[in-house]
């Protein structure tokens, strides 16, 4: 009987182990405290004077680079929302575009250009990163009007 139970339960245990390793984190529900802690950890990971980089639809052409606040804690966490602050603890920033492009995605890197968060949505409203305009010409002023990350 013992061998029979082992033969029956072994495949079940294997299936459970496989499901646990491939189930994405989004499938779990986190408490408000855990969401806040995760967002704070993300903020602290990018460090002082991190960069927010805006990219063209091809995902490789860099449109513009913004500098985040030198004080990491200026970017604030409230519940599951991380509001990103820029140089001088400002909620917005304007820079000259480096290339002509259509802005569609963004990422945050450390000051040493190590990726921390990728695949931000970019638009003029309702996106993770909101710009004054997504059709950008090289040398044009590009302004971030709002930038945040929401933990689902």
pLDDT digits (tens, 9 = 90+) for 105-125: 999 999 999 999 999 999 999
CB-count exposure of residue 115 (10 Å: 0-12, 13-18, 19+):
exposed
Host H or E run for residue 81: strand 81-83
Residue 117 phi, psi dihedral angles, 5° rounding:
-135, 135
C-alpha neighbours within 13 Å on the C-beta side of residue 83: 11
pLDDT digits (tens, 9 = 90+) for 31-75: 999 999 999 999 999 988 999 999 999 999 999 999 999 888 899
Q: What is the mean pLDDT of the chain?
A: 86
How many percent of the chain have pLDDT more than 70?
A: 83
List the domain boundaries for the chain.
32-150
pLDDT given at position 3: 57
Which pTM value belongs to this model? 0.79
Q: Which range (1-10, 63-72, 76-85, 128-137) has the least confidence?
A: 1-10
Look at residue 120 and give its three-state secondary structure.
strand
pLDDT given at position 10: 58
> Which one-letter DSSP state was computed for residue 84?
-
Q: What's the rounded Cα separation, in Å, for the pair 15 and 116?
A: 33
């Amino acid at each position: 009987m013992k061998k029979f139970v082992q033969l029956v339960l072994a495949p079940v245990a294997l299936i459970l182990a496989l499901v646990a390793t491939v189930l994405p984190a989004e499938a779990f529900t986190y408490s408000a405290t855990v969401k806040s802690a995760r967002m704070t950890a993300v903020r602290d990971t990018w460090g002082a004077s991190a960069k927010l980089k805006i990219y063209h639809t091809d995902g490789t052409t860099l449109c513009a680079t913004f500098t985040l606040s030198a004080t990491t804690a200026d970017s604030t966490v409230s519940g599951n929302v991380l509001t990103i602050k820029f140089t001088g603890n400002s909620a917005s920033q304007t820079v000259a575009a480096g290339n002509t492009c259509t802005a569609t995605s963004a990422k945050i890197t450390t000051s040493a250009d190590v990726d921390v968060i990728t695949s931000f949505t970019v638009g003029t409203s309702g996106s993770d990163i909101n710009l004054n305009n997504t059709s950008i010409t090289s040398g044009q002023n590009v302004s971030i009007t709002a930038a945040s990350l929401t933990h689902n």
